[in-house]
Amino acid sequence: MTVTDGIAESANTPLETRPLGRTGADVSVVGLGTWQLGGDWGNVSEDDAAAVLDAALDAGVTLLDTADVYGDGRSEERIRQALAPRSERPFVATKAGRRADPFEAAGYTPE
């Protein structure tokens, strides 16, 4: 069994999309959370991480969720590597600042 078993059958069925909040971006209703790709839950090989991302993108997922603390940036790097050779650009939602010291919400402004 591989990480992509069962994906090929669903790849021909487009995923439903809807607007993401006030961004105006239409994204797939199924997204991919990528905490596991950071390796915080155990080692995930480069090949397995690439296979998961490729399978999701090939299946029509257009919303990827990540954060700077997922493997200390490893998840974000793996997403970058997966997207580099592709023409499509999914919506990548990331969180930042969790490692700020001291963590003070007032320090984060639109500027």
Q: Which residues are catalytic?
A: 70
Give CA–CA dist 12/6, Å, rounded.
12
CB burial readout 58-80, b (16+ within 10 A) else e: ebbbbbbbbbbbbbebbbbbbbe
Q: Which among 89, 72, 82, 91 is positioned nearest to 49, based on CA atoms?
A: 82
